[in-house]
Amino acid sequence: MGARVLDGAAVAKQIREELKPSVEAFTAKAGRPPGLGIILVGDDPASHVYVSSKLKSAQDTGLRADLERLPASTTLDDLLRVVERLNASDAHDGILVQSPLPDAMGADAERRVFDAVRADKDVDGFHPSNVGALVQNRATLVACTPSGVIELLERSHVKIAGSRAVVVGRSDIVGKPMALLLLHRHATVTICHSRTPNLAQVAAEGDILVSAIGRPGFITPDFVKPGAAVVDVGTTPVTDRQIVERLFPPGTKRHDAFLKRGQLVIGDVHPDVAGVAGALSPVPGGVGPLTIALLLRNTLRAAQLRAGWAG
Ligand code: NAP
């Protein structure tokens, strides 16, 4: 028996289509499209792929998206100056600084950069004032990946209110906002992390299980309550053939994809979970496209709010 597929790509397409008339209306009224400024520092290949997808989706949905590419040698001060320029730009309603930043920038660089983005242009939802508003359930700009997971669950008719939800991972950008969004929708939420004892047992209490840890195939069937809705946020690029073949034996589609590209992006959830879960989001085609769709929605929302056209 296979789990129902939680089709993130289809839900993301639906969201993008829903955005188009509002983007058009904003553009007609403002005389310019909602604008997104993306800053990409360095040469991380995965970041380049993510940024290209964001630019293309933005343009396809009628938004303006500009890329500021900076070399890996950029200093933190130089990067902060670019953020300040976009903060002051009237054409840009949203600013996104692609993570990760080069290690050479220092351990606290990301925090300093995210803090420097104007809160009303913080379409990633990482600024402390937006996070504080989320805690109080009155946020306007919420982190895109966890918001995308909520859209996926709700539009797939997974019941959240009254359910037990377990979130594995407690990062500021996924795990914590995910737990808060589920809590605000009246789930009883447990957050797990690397120090959680008996993790499989705790995870298996969830009617909803969201994994965001970046450990390929870590969530095996014993972590999953039979019939649970499982959302796999993890996306880890794997080049090690042994790891790939442990999860996807030769002859499977995913193994073929690995042979073609020499690399495979693998989720946290073991493929055998499909035999236990009631519903399961795939990697790829699950949460990834939703993150981008929610980024576009946040950019439109930021534009409307800045113009004073949203309640
Ligand atoms: P992160 O900042 O590295 O945080 C990982 C979290 O997982 C930490 O809280 C860590 O616990 C926990 N963890 C790690 N190993 C664990 C283990 N063996 N058992 C239990 N918990 C463990 O990562 P992130 O930025 O949240 O991202 C998580 C994953 O989601 C990554 O694969 C990332 O690529 C993916 N992601 C995907 C999207 C998308 O659009 N699809 C967007 C964002 C992130 P501690 O706190 O105890 O260290």
- DSSP letters along 18-43, please? HHHHHHHHHHHHHSS--EEEEEEES-
Instruction: Report the percent of the chain where pLDDT is more than 90.
Output: 98
Does the active-site annotation cover 54? yes
Mean pLDDT in residue range 287-292: 97
User: What is the Cα–Cα distance from 84 to 274, expressed in whole angstroms?
Assistant: 47
Longest dimension (CA), the chain: 57
Confidence of residue 268 (pLDDT cuts 50, 70, 90): very high
Residue 273 CA to ligand 1 centre (angstroms): 19
Q: Which of 7, 93, 122, 124 is catalytic?
A: 124
Ligand 1 nearest-atom number relative to CA 268: 32
How do residues 141-191 score in pLDDT, each as one tens digit? 999 999 999 999 999 999 999 999 999 999 999 999 999 999 999 999 999
> Is 269 exposed, middle or buried, given 0-12, 13-18 or 19+ CB atoms closer than 10 A?
buried
DSSP 3-state percent helix, strand, coil across the chain (nearest 5): 45, 15, 35
Supply the residue whose CA is at minimum distance from atom 40 of ligand 1.
Answer: 288
Let me know: does 298 contact 94? Beta carbons within 8 Å. Answer: yes
- Ligand 1 center to residue 310 CA distance, Å? 34
Give the distance (Å) from ligand 1 centre to CA of residue 91.
Answer: 34
Nearest residue by C-alpha to atom 8 in ligand 1? 169
pLDDT bracket for residue 1 (50, 70, 90): low
Residue pair 39/96 in contact (Cβ under 8 Å)? The answer is yes
Q: How many whole angstroms separate alpha carbon 244 and alpha carbon 56?
A: 30
Instruction: State whether the Cα torsion 117-26-132-124 is positive or negative.
Output: negative
pTM value is 0.97
Residue 42's region, left for phi above 0, alpha for psi from -120 to 50, else beta, is: left
Residue 234 Cα, ligand 1 centroid: separation in angstroms?
A: 7
CA-to-CA separations, 287 to 183, 211, 222, 284, 292, in angstroms, rounded: 19, 11, 23, 8, 9
Instruction: Count H helices and E strands in the chain, helices first.
Output: 11, 11
Residues with CB under 6 A from ligand 1: 145, 168-171, 173-175, 192-195, 199, 212-215, 233-236, 287-288, 291
Cα distance from N-terminal residue to C-terminal residue, the chain? 46
Quote the pLDDT of residue 310: 77
User: How do residues 66-93 score in pLDDT, each as one tens digit?
Assistant: 999 999 999 999 999 999 999 999 999 9
Query: Is 80 exceeded by the pLDDT of residue 279?
Result: yes
Run of H or E residues at 245: helix 241-247
263 is catalytic: no
Rounded Cα–Cα distance for residues 221 and 232 (Å): 13
